[in-house]
Structure 1
Amino acid sequence: MIVLGLVLLVIGWLLGISILSSIGILVLIIGLVLWVLGSVGRPVGGRRWYY
């Protein structure tokens, strides 16, 4: 999810499409939150790790 967010952010920035940049930032933040919660051992949605 983090990689997808970065890709969308870069594509949106290079092509000048602001909606892709916004979606990229949103997906990136969600991915980072899930990564942090998983790394501290807290299960999110019944899963401890998100690969």
Structure 2
Amino acid sequence: MPALFILIIVVGIVLLLLGLFVEAVKFLLWLGIVIVVVGIIAWLLRSITGRNRA
């Protein structure tokens, strides 16, 4: 019976850590989308105003 309790505790800890990891990945996904949108807006502004320093 104690082995069953240990197994349940280990599975619970793994699921908790997996849930935290998924939340971190969701946050990084949204952060990446925001960075891409800001980059596209900056590129469009530079191309519209005609500033080509490259």
Larger Rg over CA atoms: 2
Whose relative contact order is higher, 1 or 2, with alpha carbons under 8 Å and at least 6 apart? 1
* TM-score, scaled to structure 1: 0.49
Give the structure with the larger helix fraction: 2
